[in-house]
């Protein structure tokens, strides 16, 4: 049992390391872009610090999101939870709100389009029924 726990621990740790590496790589790419943009160089320690910071902050975000979802008596994390998370920073909140609106809009459109396609491919009666359904959905 202890060995299993240890093995699991090891697995989790290695998984975490992989994730950290991925984050580090992404942060490095972003920093390169910014460096090119601003004409300043980023030292390795800076990139490492930023990536560590990002990783830990992601952990915090995850915990907070879970808490928010549970607080709203839900089991799935919602865009509302994400918005709640980002409320501190105005610009970030605005950005996320816009994005979320965009996403919901896209989803609605996609649904409508799917419904329409299925209607075209069916009989009239089915079309009518589905149209009714689509309308009700919308």
Partner 1 sequence: MADHDPDSDSTPRTLLRRVLDTADPRTPRRPRSARAGAQRRALLETASSRRSSSQTKMTTRRHSHGARSISRSAYVQASGHLKEQTPRTLLKNILLTAPESSILMPKSVVKPVPAPQVVQPSRRESSLGSLELQLPELEPPTTLAPGLLAPGRRKQRLRLSMFQQGVDQGLPLSQEPQRNADASSLTSSLNLTFATPLQPQSVQRPGLARRPPARRAVDVGAFLQDLRDTSLAPPNIVLEDTQPFSQPTVGCSPRVYRSPPCMPHTGAEDTELAAGCKKRSSGPGMQTNSPEKLAQFLAGEAEEVDAFALDFLSTSSGVSGEDGVEPLQDGVEEAEKRMEEEGVSVSEMEATGAQGPSRAEEPEGHTEVTEAEESQGTAEAKGPGASSGDEDASDRAARPELVSSTPESLQARRHHQFLEPDPPPGAAVLSSEPAEPLLVRRPPRPGTTGPRPQQDPHKAGLSHYVKFFSFYAKMPMERKALEMVEKCLDKYFQHLCDDLEVFAAHAGRKTVKPEDVELLMRRQGLVTDQVSLHVLVERYLPLEYRQLLIPCASSGNSVFPAQ
Which is nearer to partner 1, 68 or 115 (by Cβ)?
68
58 lines the binding site for partner 1 (CB under 8 A): no
Instruction: Say which residues have a Cβ less than 8 Å from residue 40's Cβ, sequence separation at least 6.
Output: 34
Q: Which of 89, 27, 86 is nearest to 52 (CA)?
A: 27
Contact (CB, 8 A) for 133 and 119: no
Distance in angstroms between the alpha carbons of the first and the last residue of the chain: 54
User: What does the block give as tokens for 116?
Assistant: 């329409």
Q: Which among 32-40, 80-88, 101-109, 129-137 is the span making contact with partner 1, rule CB under 8 A?
A: 80-88
**52 counts as binding partner 1 under rule CB under 8 A:** no
Return the closest-CA partner of residue 84 out of 93, 76, 75: 93
Cβ atoms of residues 42 and 35 within 8 Å: yes
Locus of tokens 């079309």: 127
Minimum CB distance to partner 1, residue 35 (Å): 34
For residues 3 to 42, the per-residue mask of contacts with partner 1, x marking binding by CB under 8 A and - elsewhere, is ----------------------------------------
Residue from 59, 80, 98, 102 touching partner 1 (CB under 8 A): that is: 80
Nearer to partner 1, 68 or 119 (CB): 68
Q: Which stretch binds partner 1 (CB under 8 A): 9-17, 42-50, 63-71, 97-105?
A: 63-71
**Interface residues toward partner 1, by CB under 8 A:** 64, 67-68, 71-73, 80-81, 84, 87
């Amino acid at each position: 049992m202890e060995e299993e726990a240890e093995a699991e621990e090891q697995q989790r740790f290695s998984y975490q390391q992989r994730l950290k590496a991925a984050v580090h790589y992404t942060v490095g790419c972003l920093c390169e872009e910014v460096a090119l943009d601003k004409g300043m160089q980023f030292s390795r320690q800076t990139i490492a610090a930023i990536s560590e910071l990002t990783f830990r902050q992601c952990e915090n975000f995850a915990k907070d999101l879970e808490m928010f979802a549970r607080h709203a008596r839900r089991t799935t994390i919602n865009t509302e939870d994400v918005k709640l998370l980002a409320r501190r920073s105005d610009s970030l909140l605005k950005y996320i709100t816009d994005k979320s609106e965009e996403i919901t809009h896209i989803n609605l459109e996609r649904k409508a389009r799917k419904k329409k396609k299925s209607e075209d491919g069916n009989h009239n009666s089915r079309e009518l029924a589905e149209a009714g359904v689509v309308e009700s959905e919308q």
